[in-house]
Amino acid sequence: MEQIKVLLIIVIFLLISSSSPAQTTQNFAKQNTWEVGGSVSFSYTESVSNGKTSDNGKNVFKLYPYVGYFITDGFEIGIIPAIELISYGGITSSNSFAIYVAPSYNFYTKSIVYPYVQGAFGYNDVSSGGSSTSASGIAWALEGGVKINIAGSSFLKIGLDYSQKTLNKSNSTGGRSGYNSISFVTGFNVFFN
């Protein structure tokens, strides 16, 4: 069922990008333009517990759907509901959900390549697979990269992301616990007016 949903989303994106031949990259990053898509990333993450960094790492797969709207030329406000699958050395795992508000600036270069910088600020919650424990807190990220026009009104997005998540349990009394991570990000976006 999940594969059908992913396939349907890809088909919708392709239809949007191919049904708008009059739209060119000249219209991207302009006021009143919508950008829709998503990114995936795989990262190695180090833990922070009670304010101290741990040497034990985790593998994290992230899926970030995205919807953004250009309120002025170049400046975009987006919403990112993030889903993360976290593996601790293949022994245990947990799932994370976060919701971000993501302002970004896309540089209009009059070419097929648009450099961008993006911030994200939100709230996240993680639950462990084998138990009923959960932790939550504030999350933020900074991302930079390029969006490359590949066809019509569609873009390939390539970037680098640094993020921090606070994941304290409700009865936590110590310092910050959570994750600091650096991720390579790739995605596919379309735009329309």
User: In order of start, what are the domains of the chain with their CATH numbers?
Assistant: 2-192 (2.40.160.20)
The DSSP annotation for the chain comes to -HHHHHHHHHHHHHHHHHS-TT--GGGTT-TT-EEEEEEEEEEEEEEEETTEEEEEEEEEEEEEEEEEEEEETTEEEEEEEEEEEEEETTTEEEEEEEEEEEEEEE---SSSEEEEEEEEEEEEEEEESSSS-EEEEEEEEEEEEEEEEEETTEEEEEEEEEEEEE-B-TT--SS--EEEEEEEEEEEEEEE-
Residue that wins the pLDDT comparison between 125 and 16: 125
pTM of the model: 0.74
Could you read off the pLDDT of 137-187 as tens digits, one per residue? 899 999 999 999 988 889 999 999 999 988 877 777 778 888 788 888 899
Position 12 scores a pLDDT of: 55
Q: What pLDDT was estimated at residue 36?
A: 96
Residue-wise pLDDT tens digits, 40-82: 887 776 777 787 777 667 777 889 999 999 999 999 999 999 9
Q: Which has more pLDDT, 96 or 54?
A: 96
- Model confidence at 2, pLDDT cuts 50, 70, 90, reads low
